[in-house]
A = this chain, B = another copy of it.
Amino acid sequence: MPPIVSDAHKENRKKEILNSAFVCFAKKGFQEATINDIVEHSGISKGAIYNYFKSKDEIYLELMSNQTVQVYENKKLELSKKKSAIEKLNFWFDAYLEMDPFLEENKAHFAIHIEFKLHASRNPELMEVLNERRHKYFVREIAEIISEGQMAGEIKQNVQPEVFADLFWSVIDGVVSQTIVYKDYPYQQTINEVKEMYLQRIMTTS
């Protein structure tokens, strides 16, 4: 149904393209994957793709925006049910504990994200965007939980919220990123130890 098409349809079409692009980028990497790959995988013509996106780069960018926000929003909902700070942190750790990082789909996710960070590291403007996003969506989130916990007396006063928020994501990132290459990596054990270690370090000893 070509013309005078609903906005919903157009959104769908964009999503179809993004989904195919995601699969292709995941399989081959951004550079290696071609527009033709996306054409073949999506069944959408080359011209149509360029009707929705100005360039291959734009597909990449939009893919990244959506993903980050999506992941974050998903968690946010469930998180609102938790009460104490430690419960919330536990929730975050458990989210990673329960996820299977060796699942092809998940590996693809990480791979694309890492690739994107790499891409960004060579592009100052993009770095700025990622920096902001990291703070707005991730660091602030954990830092606030820590502050909350300090006010409630659950977490030691000498813990700097920002630093430990950075630390939290660094550690998660470090563990997760091993799994895309090292296939016998003891993921769950490591996450568990990380959790223990992290909480032991920040919790007030009653």
Contact = CB atoms under 8 A, between A and B. Distances in A.
Given A170-B175, A201-B197, A181 B120 contact: yes
Contacts of A172: 174
Interface stretch (A28-36, A71-79, A80-88): A28-36
A196 interface: yes
Contact of A178 (B111, B170, B197): B170
In the complex, the count of this chain's copies comes to 4
A115 to B, nearest CB: 6
Contacts of A114: 114, 117-118
Interface size class of A (residues with CB under 8 A): 35 or more
A52 interface: no
A115 B32 CA distance: 13
Contacts of A94: none
Interface in A138-173: 160, 162-164, 166-167, 169-173
Interface of A: 3, 27-29, 31-32, 47, 107, 111, 114-115, 117-122, 127, 130-131, 134, 160, 162-164, 166-167, 169-175, 177-178, 180-186, 189-190, 193-194, 196-198, 200-201
Given A114-B118, A131-B182, 7 more contacts: A111-B118, A162-B186, A166-B185, A167-B194, A170-B174, A170-B175, A197-B198
